[in-house]
């Protein structure tokens, strides 16, 4: 374990409200050194406003080249932890060769239920009464990596995608901040001390 603050890179694609929670965590024993997106987005603006370095790596037709560029961009800060927080892309083999075990993703369902980009819609369509959020290690699959923590969120009568997603995102924001506060590196991997809920 290191006594230095952990260096964190956050990957985003959109609004960046999870990123905001991470940046706003005044009790944080970690430091966000870089925010990377696949397109210009509100998350990049949030990072700039917070004085954090940013990079945009637009997806290319040549996915292997994009994967390599993303990996090189992230590697520049030598992060301890990479958080995929609303990053809507699958990370490729070169990225995972460098950062597997150090990369975690937050997903708006109780995996293994409802993987993929439409998790909230899929849960509503299915008619589940309880859904939630999951933080997991990222592997080569689509939301298939080892589960680190989950929180349940009840589906309320009359919920729409947006009301349900907002309640799930509230749980996601609390969960990711709680985990990052308890993160450390052990045997070449990010681990989380204490209980996960």
Our answer to whether residue 107 is catalytic in this structure is yes
Q: 99 Cβ partners below 8 Å, 6+ apart? A: 71, 74, 79, 82, 91
**Secondary structure letter of residue 124 according to DSSP:** H
Taking the C-alpha atoms of residue 183 and residue 148, their distance in angstroms, rounded to an integer, is 11
In the chain, count of helices (H) and strands (E)? Answer: 6, 9
The region of 67-75, 90-98, 105-113, 176-184 touching ligand GRF under the rule CB under 6 A is 105-113
Q: Does 16 bind ligand GRF (CB under 6 A)?
A: yes
Taking the C-alpha atoms of residue 86 and residue 64, their distance in angstroms, rounded to an integer, is 21
**Binding-residue pattern over the window 47 to 66 for ligand GRF, x denoting contact by CB under 6 A:** --------------------
Q: Does 106 bind ligand GRF (CB under 6 A)?
A: yes
> Nearer to ligand GRF by C-beta: 31 or 118?
118
**Binding-residue pattern over the window 84 to 103 for ligand GRF, x denoting contact by CB under 6 A:** -xx-----------------
Taking the C-alpha atoms of residue 143 and residue 56, their distance in angstroms, rounded to an integer, is 23
Catalytic residues: 107
Known binding-site positions for (6R)-10-formyltetrahydrofolate: 63, 88-91, 105
Binding residues (CB under 6 A) for ligand GRF: these are 14-19, 85-86, 106-108, 169, 172
């Amino acid at each position: 374990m290191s006594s230095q603050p952990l260096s964190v890179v956050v990957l985003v694609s959109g609004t960046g409200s999870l990123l905001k929670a991470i940046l706003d965590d005044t009790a944080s024993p970690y430091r966000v050194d870089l925010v990377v997106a696949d397109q210009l987005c509100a998350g990049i603006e949030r990072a700039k406003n917070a004085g954090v370095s940013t990079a945009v790596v637009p997806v290319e037709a040549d996915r292997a080249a994009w994967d390599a560029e993303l990996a090189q961009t992230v590697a520049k800060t030598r992060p301890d932890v990479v958080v995929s927080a609303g990053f809507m892309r699958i990370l490729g083999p070169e990225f995972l060769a460098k950062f597997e075990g150090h990369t975690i993703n937050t997903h708006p369902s109780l995996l293994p239920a409802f993987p993929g980009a439409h998790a909230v819609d899929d849960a509503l369509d299915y008619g589940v009464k309880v859904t939630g959020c999951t933080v997991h290690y990222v592997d080569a699959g689509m939301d298939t990596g080892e589960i680190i923590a989950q929180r349940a969120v009840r589906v309320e009568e009359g919920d729409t995608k947006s009301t349900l997603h907002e309640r799930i995102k509230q749980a996601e924001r609390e969960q990711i901040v709680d985990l990052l506060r308890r993160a450390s590196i052990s045997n070449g991997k990010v681990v989380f001390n204490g209980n996960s809920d």
